[in-house]
Amino acid sequence: MQTKKFIDRNGDEPGIPVPTAMEALQMLRVIIRAAQRHSSLIEQHCGVSGAQLWVLQEVHERPGLRIRDVAERLAIQQATASNLVDGLVKKACIDKLRDPDDLRATKLVLTKHGKTVLECAPVHQKGLLPDALAKLNDDQLLHLVKGLHALLLTIDDQDYSTALMPLPFTL
């Protein structure tokens, strides 16, 4: 594949031909590999996974979050959020504190080490893909979702429960 510019920042380029299925496949590969490289870079620089770094960022922005809040903010299952938090507790990045108002609940706070990990992180602390998607305007996001939905309709073996699982290379 030749390196080429697919579209400009505004999402259009006069005279560009209608993309083929293979060009769309190549774009998906570029996106997925960029996310993989980003996740690998995070692990090398910070010693935590991409998903764990996102948890740290969320807890930093909202000290006292509960695990269910983390799951909601990362759009993942609560059990997965719990596993990510447990890993961060073992790495001394997060403390679980009992909520004095509800002793069954725990609140999450960053430790000093957790703050240090967060500070050493490169850009995109919530992840390359979440940050890129957040930069799209409403019209671009609508077109993307419609296109992805159309693609999903052509796939026979769909498992929508995987929508609540982080990509394997971010764990």
Q: What is the mean pLDDT of the chain?
A: 87
pLDDT at position 61:
94
Reported as a single tens digit per residue, the pLDDT across 60-84 is 999 999 999 999 999 999 999 999 9
> Does 116 fall in a domain?
yes
Q: How many CB atoms lie within 10 A of CB 66?
A: 18
- Give the amino acid at 12: D
147, burial (CB in 10 Å: exposed 0-12, middle 13-18, buried 19+): exposed
In a domain, 59, yes or no: yes
Considering the domain boundaries, does residue 57 fall inside one?
Answer: yes
Global pTM exceeds 0.85: no
Which tokens hold the place of 87?
Answer: 């890993």
% of the chain with per-residue pLDDT over 90: 58
Residue with tokens 């052509």: 154
Residue 24 resides in a domain: no
Give CA separation, 13 vs 18, 43, 85, 107, 141, in Å: 11, 36, 44, 49, 18
Query: Domain residues for 93?
Result: 42-145
What pLDDT does 1 receive?
46
Written in H, E and C, the secondary structure of 19-44 is: CCHHHHHHHHHHHHHHHHHHHHHHHH
- CA-derived radius of gyration, the chain: 19
In a domain, 151, yes or no: no
- Maximal CA-CA distance, the chain: 63
pLDDT for 29-43, tens place per residue? Answer: 999 999 999 989 999
- Total number of domains constituting the chain: 1
The alpha-helical segments, DSSP class H, found in 48-103 are 50-61, 67-74, 78-90
Is residue 171 included in any domain, yes or no? no
Residue 168 lies in a domain: no
Residue 80 lies in a domain: yes
CATH classification of the domain holding 118: 1.10.10.10
Q: What is the pLDDT along the chain (171 residues), one digit of tens a residue?
A: 444 555 555 556 656 677 788 998 999 999 999 999 998 999 998 999 989 999 999 999 999 999 999 999 999 999 999 999 999 999 999 999 987 888 788 999 999 999 999 998 877 678 889 899 999 999 999 999 999 999 999 998 888 888 888 888 887
Query: Which pLDDT belongs to residue 103?
Result: 79
